Amino acid sequence: MSPAQGATIGRRRLRHALRTAREAVGMTQEQVASEMDWSTSKIIRIEAGAVSVSPIDVRALLRLYGVVEQRRVDELVSLARSSRARRWWSSFAGSLPPSYMAYIGLEAETSSVLCYTPTKLPGLFQTEAYAAKALRRDSAGADEQSQVEVRLTRQREVLDKPNPPHITAVIDESVVRRIANDAQAQKEQLEKLMSLSSKPNITLHVLPFTSGIDDYPSPFAILQFPDPADHDVMFVESAVADDVVDRPEVVEPYHEKFQRLCGLALSPDESRDLIKKIVGELD
């Protein structure tokens, strides 16, 4: 795993390893903070993945935890170095929510994305005009231009890389029909959806009005990674706050929800036909 490709996954693996090593020797976070002459909040942030940790601090923690096997020490120190690597989104840190920054980092290293969007299009599928309109509703004073720029950069970085992830999206029919308040912007966005749906790594389902009333969940995206050691992560959106969920027992039920949604939705071919029909109605 190179620094250029695994900064976020590196931090994730490292925090799990450090927490496991601490628990193995029966130390609390408060005890570690006292021994290291750090604040307890520093330990909490390190183990939560909220901050990076220097190779020097990793070596000190491992000595405290009695981890002396050189191969293991070298592996974790290497993860510390990779987790501190700057990526393209680092310059936006002051203008984006931490949960969204964490999601971008994970998305950059994923091999598969499963997403359900009942209120708006997935960010990776949006045109610039659509993104600007959507963000004006969501930003609540945030730097809108930065968010649009980030969204468009995400698309290039994720969709145009040599080995892009496979993306399976379930989009509500209301989202497809209520894309913009002017026909030209709507047509451009629908044509982009048509183009994306023809790519071999993108599977698009439209959840039709005829699927009826069901217990539909809030918007979510499940990220899967090429290494089986890295368990799935979920990004959940809500009206109050967004969150990155890193607990398998919480993520796993959403796999079942997603499969149920795919079963209720139109097939990829039927979805393309519906989008094509709506485009035709705009001419």
Q: Report the SS3 class of residue 70.
A: helix
pLDDT attached to residue 2: 39
Q: What average pLDDT score do residues 167-173 get? A: 97
User: Which residues are CB-contacts of 81 (< 8 A; sequence separation ≥ 6)?
Assistant: 3, 55
pLDDT above 80 for 5: no
Half-sphere exposure of 223 (CA within 13 A, CB side): 24
The ranges assigned to domains in the chain are 3-83, 98-122+160-282
pLDDT tens string 132-157: 888 755 544 456 677 888 899 999 99
Q: Can you identify the CATH homologous superfamily of domain 3-83?
A: lambda repressor-like DNA-binding domains (1.10.260.40)
pLDDT attached to residue 3: 38
pLDDT attached to residue 143: 65
Structure tokens given for 102: 């964490």
Residue type, 76: L
Q: What average pLDDT score do residues 260-280 get? A: 94
pLDDT attached to residue 4: 38
Q: Counting every residue, how long is the chain?
A: 283
Please tell us whether the domain made up of 98-122+160-282 is placed in CATH 3.40.50.10440. Answer: no
182 — pLDDT class (breaks 50, 70, 90): confident
Q: What average pLDDT score do residues 209-220 get? A: 88
How many other CB atoms are there within 10 angstroms of residue 149's CB atom?
Answer: 15
